[in-house]
C-alpha cells in the first residue's frame, strides 16, 4: 500500500508511476485520497479540540461545585453535553472517512522502480540475459503430456476423477521426482542461508490484505466462506505475514526464509495450448524464498536472490532466460520483477518457472512491518520474494529436453535425490 505522505509530497511522480503501470483512474483516485486525508486531519483536529475543551470544563465544574456555584457549574455542564455530541459526531465521521481512505489506498498498485521498462504486455518485457544451449530433439520428440502417459508417471484423468481438471496425480517415478525436486530446492536454499519454515496453507483475510492478494486477486483464490479462510496461492503469503505488526531489530536483517507448500490458484478463464499438461494447474508444488531487508539493501538482496534461482536452473542443466518485466506486465504489488523462463524443446517455447520481486515498502506498509532507525523513529522495511522453484514447468522441461529412445535422463544434481538417473 502506498503511503499517503508519498502521495502528498510527490504527487506528480506517483501519477507518472501509476501511468507506467497503465492504471486508468490514477488522477481521480489520488485526488480522492488527498481530499479524504485532508478531511481526516480536519476531523481529528476538531475532535481533539472539542475533547480538550470538555476536559478543561470538567476541571472547572469541579471547582465551581466546591465553591458552591451550582448555577455556573450547570451552565458548563450544558456546554459539556454539547461537546460530547460533537466529539461523537466527529468520531463517527472519522471512522467512515478512514475506512474510505483505506479502501481507496488498497486500489492503487505499487509504483514501479526507475529501471522498469515501458510497455503494456509480455511482448514488451526486456530480456536481460539468456543462458545455456537449447537442445535439438529428434523429429518424433514428444511434448510432456505425451511423455507422462508413455512412462505412466503423472495421471490427469485420475486427478479429474477425484477432484477436477488441473489437479494431477503423480505416481511411481513421477512422485519420486516431485519429492526429489522439493528436497533439492530446500537443501539449496538452506545452503544459501535461508531458514526453512513450514507455514499453514490456509490464511485469514488479514494475511491476504497484508501481502496484497486482497482485494486485488480474491477471484483467483479458493475461499472457504464458512471460516473465511483462503487457500494460499503461494508461500509468500503466510511466510511474509509471520512478521506482520512487528518492529524488527536491525541486527536481525536481512531475514531469510524458505518454505515448501502446495499452491492453489483458480486460474479462472485460462484456456488453450498454454494450459495443456503441466503448463497451468490449479494445485502445484513450489519452494518459495522470502527476504525482509533494510531499504538500503533491498536491491542488492534482489540480485542475490536472482543469482540463487539462476544457480538452481544451472544445476538442473536447463537453458533459461531472465526477463525484466515492463510496467504493464508487472504484478500489482511489485516495484521490480524478474521472471525466469526455461526453454521447452518439444513445445518450442519459453515457460515461466519463477518470479523474483522487490515490493519495497508496499507490503510492509500494509503489514505494519518496521524497524527502528538510529533517530529512534520507526521506518518501513522492504519485502522481497522469489520462486525457487515452482515444480510443474520445471518437470515439463526436464521431461521434454532430456528425452531419448532409452528413456528420460535426469541431471546429475538430482540422481542422489531421486535414487535413479533416468525415467524408463
The answer to whether the beta carbons of residues 392 and 353 sit under 8 Å apart is no
Distance CA 338, CA 301 (A): 13
| Active-site position among 334, 355, 357, 387 | 355
Q: Cell numbers for 264, please give them.
A: 492453489
Contact 147, 408 (CB under 8 A): yes
Q: Tell me: is residue 190 an annotated ligand-binding position.
A: no
Annotated binding residue 288: yes
Is 300 part of any known ligand binding site?
no
Q: Specify whether the CB–CB gap between 332 and 322 falls below 8 A.
A: no
Task: Give the Cα separation of 131 and 313 in Å (integer).
Answer: 10
| Catalytic site includes residue 393 | yes
Farthest CA pair distance, the chain: 107
SS3 106: helix
Nearest partner of 257 among 243, 273, 275, 270, judged by Cα: 243
- Confirm or deny that 324 is annotated as ligand binding: no
Of 256, 366, 370, 393, the catalytic one is 393
Starting at the earlier edge strand, list the strands of the sheet with 382-390.
126-131, 320-324, 336-344, 349-358, 382-390, 283-293, 255-264, 195-196
Is 129 a catalytic site residue?
no
Instruction: Tell whether residue 98 is among the known ligand binding residues.
Output: no
DSSP classification of residue 333: T
What are 369-377's contacts with CB under 8 Å, separation 24+? 369/243, 369/244, 369/245, 369/246, 369/248, 369/292, 370/246, 370/247, 370/248, 371/247, 371/248, 371/249, 371/250, 371/253, 371/294, 372/247, 372/249, 372/250
Distances in whole angstroms, Cα of residue 116 to Cα of each of 119, 380, 382: 9, 22, 18
Q: Where are the alpha helices (DSSP H) in 252-356?
A: 298-315
- Contact between 22 and 325 under an 8 Å Cβ cutoff? The reply is no
Q: Does the annotation list 321 as a binding residue?
A: no
Residue 234 assigned to a binding site: yes
Catalytic hit among 188, 236, 265, 341: 265
- Assess whether 355 carries a catalytic annotation: yes
Q: Which of 335, 298, 385 is nearest to 110 (CA)?
A: 335
**Of residues 280, 304, 317, 324, which has the active-site annotation?**
280
Phi and psi angles of residue 391, each rounded to the nearest 5 degrees, phi first: -80, -40
266 in a known ligand binding site:
yes
Tell me, yes or no, if 121 is annotated catalytic.
no
Binding residue per annotation — 67?
A: no
Is 267 among the annotated ligand-binding positions? yes
Residue 276: active-site member? no
CA distances from 259 to 85, 161, 185 (A): 53, 30, 10
List binding-site positions for ATP: 265-267, 352-355
List binding-site positions: 234, 265-267, 288, 352-355, 385
List binding-site positions for L-serine: 234, 265, 288, 385
Instruction: Point out the residues that are catalytic.
Output: 265, 280, 352, 355, 393
Amino acid at each position: 500500500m502506498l503511503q499517503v505522505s508519498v502521495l502528498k509530497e510527490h504527487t506528480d511522480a506517483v501519477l507518472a508511476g501509476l501511468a507506467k503501470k497503465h492504471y486508468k483512474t490514477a488522477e481521480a483516485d489520488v485526488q480522492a485520497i488527498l481530499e479524504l486525508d485532508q478531511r481526516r486531519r480536519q476531523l481529528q483536529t476538531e475532535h481533539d479540540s472539542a475533547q480538550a475543551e470538555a476536559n478543561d470544563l470538567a476541571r472547572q465544574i469541579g471547582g465551581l461545585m466546591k465553591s458552591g456555584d451550582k448555577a455556573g457549574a450547570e451552565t458548563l455542564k450544558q456546554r459539556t453535553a454539547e461537546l460530547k455530541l460533537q466529539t461523537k459526531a466527529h468520531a463517527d465521521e472519522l471512522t467512515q472517512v478512514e475506512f474510505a481512505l483505506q479502501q481507496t489506498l488498497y486500489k492503487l498498485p505499487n509504483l514501479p522502480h526507475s529501471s522498469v521498462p515501458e510497455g503494456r504486455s509480455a511482448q514488451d518485457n526486456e530480456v536481460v540475459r539468456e543462458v545455456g544451449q537449447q537442445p535439438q530433439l529428434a523429429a518424433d520428440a514428444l511434448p510432456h503430456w505425451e511423455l507422462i502417459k508413455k512412462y505412466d508417471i503423472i495421471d490427469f484423468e485420475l486427478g479429474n476423477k477425484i477432484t477436477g481438471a488441473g489437479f494431477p496425480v503423480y505416481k511411481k517415478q513421477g512422485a519420486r521426482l516431485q519429492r526429489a525436486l522439493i528436497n533439492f530446492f530446500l537443501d539449496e536454499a538452506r545452503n544459501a542461508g535461508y531458514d526453512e519454515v513450514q507455514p499453514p496453507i490456509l490464511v485469514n483475510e488479514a494475511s491476504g490484505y497484508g501481502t496484497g492478494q486482497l482485494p486485488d486477486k480474491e477471484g483467483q483464490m479458493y475461499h472457504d466462506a464458512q471460516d473465511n479462510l483462503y487457500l494460499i496461492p503461494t508461500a509468500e503469503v503466510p511466510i511474509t505475514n509471520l512478521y506482520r505488526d512487528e518492529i524488527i531489530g536491525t541486527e536481525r536483517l536481512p531475514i531469510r526464509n524458505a518454505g515448501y507448500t502446495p499452491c492453489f490458484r483458480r486460474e479462472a478463464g485460462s484456456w488453450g495450448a498454454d494450459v495443456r499438461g503441466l503448463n497451468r494447474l490449479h494445485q502445484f508444488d513450489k519452494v518459495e524464498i522470502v527476504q525482509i531487508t533494510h531499504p538500503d539493501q533491498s536491491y542488492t538482496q534482489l540480485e542475490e536472490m536472482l543469482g540463487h534461482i539462476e544457480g538452481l536452473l544451472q544445476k538442473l542443466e536447463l537453458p533459461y532466460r531472465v526477463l525484466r518485466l515492463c510496467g504493464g506486465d508487472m504484478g500489482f504489488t511489485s516495484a521490480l520483477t524478474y521472471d525466469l523462463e526455461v526453454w521447452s524443446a518439444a513445445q518450442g517455447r519459453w515457460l515461466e518457472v519463477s518470479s523474483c520481486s522487490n515490493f519495497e515498502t508496499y507490503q510492509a506498509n500494509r503489514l505494519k512491518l518496521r524497524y527502528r532507525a538510529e533517530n529512534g523513529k520507526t521506518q518501513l522495511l522492504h519485502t522481497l520474494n522469489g520462486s525457487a522453484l515452482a515444480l510443474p514447468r520445471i518437470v515439463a522441461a526436464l521431461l521434454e529436453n532430456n528425452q531419448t529412445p532409452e528413456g528420460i535422463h535426469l541431471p546429475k544434481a538430482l540422481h542422489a535425490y531421486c535414487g535413479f538417473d533416468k525415467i524408463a
